[in-house]
Structure 1
């Protein structure tokens, strides 16, 4: 009777098996010296070098720079983007005009479906010093054009703002869904006690969606080392490497540009192991605070 339900999970299982679990065999490359010109057989025939590539990365000139940039960019995204989705969900939940609410939801969701390449292109057009809308406004008010994507002072801000714009609407969906499970009687009781909408949101809505917030926060902390490779790669340049070069772009340059596969694999493995400890630590802290964890 239940076999049809099991059939439904087969595509998902095959996806994770083919694209996540089978490729894990390739981590042995991080512990060997492999040349791309030696062929696939080099994975099995080359000598083991232990933690040579890890030590090389830790002693590298770029280590602290890419770690700092990765954590800062991800940290800013978490600091501004995570509560922004919660705030939008709370505001949408307070709207009583159904048509207006659907319009706002649709507009806020749309950026999520725009390709990162398109978002990067829009950012370049809007922020361009040659006819860009932002710089046109600055010049109109008597200022000088600013090269936002080539100035280390502004580059991270561009990344964070574009990230919030692209994810705020989609991130609010889960919170809105969680709000539908809150007992309406709680709001009625609060109204009878004289509580306004702000106090209802603070004392009823937020506690009601707290388990969802905690779970998503844990997952976000686990992805703290994923600072948005595609967007950074499309927007950055050597002029802003100091503030924009992250672990993933460093791996890209070392692995694909310089063909140093073993070293790039070691850096990627280091990043993923560190991410595992982050998510374990976040889940442990959530349990300590008597909140719902992911297991």
Structure 2
């Protein structure tokens, strides 16, 4: 059987929020679908793991913290902390569906089975796939349920979660599978080649220019990127900005891009003879900036 691990795109934060808000929260189906989407997104479950969840699995507690009991691949069981947002949505669904007291019954069911007491028919993995597909397609990004697992895994690793803990959370037998979601070491701006180039350019600056660069960098760090203006920084064009250094005899610039809020990547450092930034330097900086975005 083919695995989807590593082949599925992760959602951005805005897309994930849109998806969670897409179902109609005034209907049983909408409440159920919101709970399903939140359970997938916040706990990185596989479709079949979600379908196997029973009411009692939702009521687990370990060391005073609510947990989900997940029956994973190969009959392995794991416990994952229950996210408060998902917990609230599941409670809303169970209150509306009226099967919350059936501990041995399945948590997520087809809408037609919600009010049949004692019904053991769970929602199917295919139905879960169609739920995610339908809501995402309406929002303009057509994805499958595994994208929510990929989103959860990537987001956890991007926020510096320990990869061994993420492996356990995902239920991976091999940590190599978990590493597929770890993009922290594959960012272009972090490549040794890129770092050596810019570091060498900084090192080539005159001593007083380097000191000025460090001072302005500290100014940005202390006061925030958007609170520092000319004569220290200035917009050049497109995504490109410049840190402006000047000594008694020379002028230099450090061209940079903002890849994330509060994160600046310097892409080109050089000394120039006039106030005007040469076009060739702008072109080179933009080329390096494009490499970062890829």
TM range (shorter): under 0.3
Larger RCO, structures 1/2 (Cα 8 Å, 6+ apart): 1
Higher percent of residues as strand = 2
TM-score (norm 2): 0.21
TM-score (norm 1): 0.21
Give the number of the structure whose alpha-carbon radius of gyration is greater.
Answer: 2
